[in-house]
Amino acid sequence: MIINGKLNNKRLSSKALEENIQAAVHNGSHSLEIKAQGQHGIGGRLWPGDDKINIKVSGPVGQRLGAMGMQGTEIVVNGSASDDVGWLNCGATITVLGDVTNGAHNAGAQGILYVQGGGGARCDTMTKNNPRYAPLQSWYFRDVGDSFAEFKAGGITVVCGVEPRNPDNILGYRPCVGMVGGVIYFRGPITGYSRNDVQLLPLDDED
């Protein structure tokens, strides 16, 4: 089912687009194509129950894509996405075929974020961990920006370091300040990290 972010050549509000998406899911649609026009919160707060909801998004994407996404929701964005992708993620799988800007996966608890490009500032901050569920995962193909993983409390993050924007420092300025939990795997050089909060360890067989 195709849901357009415009009606009569006028952009729909974020609220109106979300109402259309919620109505489509309520009426039994589980495969949606959203033609976005900068609306916020696309794909978030859907309750698939025991089913799966597959959402493909094209066009300019506003903030908080997949915010409060539930388990069973799968979102694929054909391009880059704006701030706070996967905010408060509760189990959705989100794939961004481009870069994400600031605040990706902030305060996430469950689910997976795949970023084909790089992340902006303050990605993976205040992430959570519930031992009853699989840990949150964030994958960045390139690099991340400044203040990465501030107050991170859980989850697994992988920064692959492929063709990074800053080849001398793939984790940005002041990463891991206040981090109390979780694990970060990275490939490439860094210029520093919060030594008061985290340890830099070699890989072992469990990794």
pLDDT at 87: 98
Cβ neighbors of 27 (< 8 A, separation 6 or more) are none
pLDDT in tens, 138-166: 999 999 999 999 999 999 999 999 999 99
The pLDDT of residue 207 is above 90: no
The pLDDT of residue 6 is above 90: yes
Strands 10-11 and 6-7: antiparallel
Q: What is the residue-averaged pLDDT of the chain?
A: 96
Q: What is the mean pLDDT of residues 63-88?
A: 97
pLDDT at 206: 84
pLDDT at 32: 98
What is the percentage of the chain residues whose pLDDT exceeds 90? 95
Give me the count of residues in the chain: 207
Q: Domain spans of the chain? A: 40-186
pTM over 0.75: yes
The residue among 57, 44, 125 whose CA lies nearest residue 91 is 44
Q: What is the mean pLDDT of residues 86-95?
A: 98
The pLDDT of residue 186 is above 90: yes
pLDDT at 61: 96
Joined together, the tokens standing for residue 66 give 């997949």
Instruction: Name the band, by pLDDT with cuts 50, 70 and 90, for residue 48.
Output: confident
